[in-house]
Amino acid sequence: MVKQDKRVVVIGAGMAGILAGIKLREAGFTEIAIYEKADRVGGTWRENTYPGLTCDVPSHHYTYSFERNPDWSRHLSPGPEIQSYFERTAKKYGVDEILHCNQQATSAEFIDGRWHLGFQDGHSDVADILISATGVLHKPKYPQIDGIETFKGDCFHSARWDHSVALEGKRIGVIGNGSTGVQLISALAGRAGKLEHFVRHPQWIMPVENGYFSNEERQAFHDPAVLKEAMRFEEYNAAVERYTTAIVDMESEGAREMGAICLANLEQSVKDPVLREQLRPDHAPLCYRLIFSPDYYQAIQHPNAALVTEGIAGIEEAGIRTADGELHELDIIVLATGFHPDTFMRPMAFKGRNGVDLETLWADGPKAYLAATLPDFPNFFMLNGPNGPVGNFSLIDIAELQWHYIAQCIDKLTTQEFDEISPSTESMVRFESERVAAAKETVWYRGGCKSWYLDKNGVPSSWPWTYSRFAQAMSEPDWPAFECVKHPT
Ligand code: NAP
């Protein structure tokens, strides 16, 4: 193994930051620092601890390809198991040794060929290569609802769960019906004394199995050949391609099939015709990120549960007042109201070559060349950056594809061939115009809903092509799109 003497700083120790640490060590880098704002690794899975938290990607596929886990308890893994998986994987691969916790990066500037970083506690660092692995959905979005501060009970965001609050027998209101709100309703239906789900726009629900693996099955999965067979890669990959094709082409066969399954799920699972109509979405399936749930419809039909589609007029001391004048008295209000998806590494102050400011570059919304690099930000790479694929498939797989791409760019620096690498402004502009045009053809834009996929201009910000196109783009950088600089010696 070649020893690499460049200093690399990674910001964030979630799934992608851990991956970067493992891969950098594997490549022989000895000068690596991973900075994490919290007290431990895990990102999303550390921050989200709400009851019912589950990954809707089949559990065996939601792992690093080099560290499969035969021990998942269920087909869809529960959040705490995923958090332990990341903690033990970070330890196993020595990420703990290069990890600096409780260190929030506040600034980065490219000066004289290197990245100069500042941290909240006043310390600084300098890096030749900077990698941002700060995640996408990490800044909770709090709703602007009149009187919310007057509520006398407990009120918190789903990603800031207050575990000191007892749930059993309580009157609980959940606002929001994205993947989080739906999982919460399933988990709370048998526990709350009264459970009310406040829904503005009902969503399509894809039925899914979530059984437990038996001890015998888990034992058998320790044989990699058995696990590989159980993962049915061909079928899984085809499903991902079909899903992303359905996003790109609303008229595709896959889109029609998925729509039909969701419709049948609604028709067959909800007995009361009034409730069924209230739960019937008015947008095309997949316009929102599709919700996979084995039991939401059963949960909302629980005797203690109720759907509330009347708009929220305000929140008062005793509960939620809806537009029809009814007061819904509650002990707990959970805000499953989503996240600000355009934060990435901000609020860091970020400046590239010659003082180019990230805020100026992103004035119209976050963007990146093929989701990974930025013009005038040399030797800076993003994992799960803007416009990358985010959907009903493994983001770990996406990060690994991105790493494969980024590692080839880094090679240009470590072989001493070049000192700086970044995409040209022309390639960024060209890519961006193709991306926006393609985004306007997707179901996210044309499907009749307004989801978190849309940026402030109403343009979908996620990867607007198929999974296979992304995998192809990540297989090798298109070198003519990059500007490579050699410093005079
Ligand atoms: P979300 O999909 O953005 O949903 C937010 C919900 O809150 C929507 O139903 C929205 O209603 C509602 N809402 C927002 N502001 C409101 C207000 N002022 N009044 C009433 N309702 C309001 O958020 P999320 O459910 O947390 O999910 C975000 C993403 O996290 C998912 O799309 C997914 O990528 C990820 N996630 C994944 C999993 C998994 O299993 N892998 C689980 C959870 C989350 P409108 O639709 O009417 O705006």
Specify the pLDDT at position 208: 97
Higher-pLDDT residue of 200, 416: 200
CA of 354 to the centre of ligand 1 (A): 39
- 34's tokens: 């991973």
Task: Name which of 15, 24, 105 is nearest 65 in CA terms.
Answer: 15
Mean pLDDT of the chain: 96
In the predicted model, what is the mean pLDDT of residues 64-69? 98
Let me know: does 342 contact 349? Beta carbons within 8 Å.
no
Q: Which residues line ligand 1 (CB under 6 A)?
A: 54-56, 137, 143, 145, 175-181, 183, 200-201, 289, 312, 336-338, 452
Q: Are 204 and 225 in contact (CB under 8 A)?
A: no
Cβ contact 287:443 at 8 Å: yes
Alpha carbons within 13 A on the beta-carbon side of 222: 5
Task: Compute the distance between CA of residue 311 and CA of residue 145 in angstroms, rounded to an integer.
Answer: 11
Q: How confident is the model at residue 357 (pLDDT cuts 50, 70, 90)?
A: very high
Q: Which residue's CA lies nearest to atom 19 of ligand 1?
A: 143
Identify the residue whose tokens are 């998942």. Answer: 72
Residue-level pLDDT at 396: 97
How do residues 455-488 score in pLDDT, each as one tens digit?
999 999 999 999 999 999 999 999 999 999 998 8
Residue 392 pLDDT: 83
Q: Name the residue of 44, 50, 180 whose CB sits within 8 Å of the most ligand 1 atoms, as the mutation to test its pocket.
A: 180
pLDDT single digits (tens) 74-89? 999 999 999 999 999 9
Q: Is the pLDDT of residue 3 over 70?
A: no
Atom of ligand 1 nearest to the CA of 338: 23
- Give the pLDDT confidence score for residue 390 in this predicted structure: 86
Out of 81, 322, 333, 337, mutate this one to test ligand 1's pocket (max ligand atoms within 8 Å of CB): namely 337
Identify the helix (H) or strand (E) that includes residue 474. helix 467-475
pLDDT cut 90: percent of the chain above it? 97
The pLDDT-based confidence of 489 (bands split at 50, 70, 90) is confident
Tell me, yes or no, if the pTM score tops 0.85. Answer: yes
Q: How far apart (Å, rounded) are the C-alpha atoms in residues 124 and 114? A: 13
Ligand 1 mean position, distance from CA 391 (Å): 13
Ligand 1 pocket mutation pick from 54, 184, 197, 200 by most atoms within 8 angstroms of CB = 200
Helix, coil or strand: residue 197? strand
- What's the full length of the chain, in residues? 489
- Beta-bridged to residue 124, according to DSSP, are 118
Q: How does pLDDT run across 310-324, given as a tens digit for each residue?
A: 999 999 999 999 999
pLDDT in tens, 275-327: 999 999 999 999 999 999 999 999 999 999 999 999 999 999 999 999 999 99
Confidence of residue 272 (pLDDT cuts 50, 70, 90): very high
Q: Please tell me the distance between residue 483's alpha carbon and the centre of ligand 1 in angstroms.
A: 39
Report CA(212)–ligand 1 centroid distance (Å): 27
User: How far apart, in whole angstroms, are the C-alpha atoms of residue 370 and residue 385?
Assistant: 9
- Residue carrying the six token digits 């290569």: 129
Residue-wise pLDDT for 11-64, tens only, equals: 999 999 999 999 999 999 999 999 999 999 999 999 999 999 999 999 999 999
**Residues in contact with 122: Cβ distance below 8 Å, sequence separation at least 6, in sequence order:** none
CB 415 within 8 A of CB 429: no
Q: How far apart are the first and last CA of the chain?
A: 27
Q: Determine contact, residues 138/43, Cβ cutoff 8 Å.
A: yes
Predicted confidence (pLDDT) per residue in 400-444, tens digit: 999 999 999 999 999 878 999 999 999 999 999 999 999 999 999
Read off the pLDDT of each residue in 352-365 and give the average, rounded to a whole number: 95
Please report, for residues 112, 114, 413, 418, the alpha-carbon distance to residue 485 in angstroms, rounded to integers and kept in the order given.
13, 13, 10, 6
Q: Whose CA is nearest to atom 28 of ligand 1?
A: 338
Task: Find all residues with CB under 8 Å of 36, minimum gap 6, and list them.
Answer: 12, 13, 17, 99, 100, 101, 102, 103
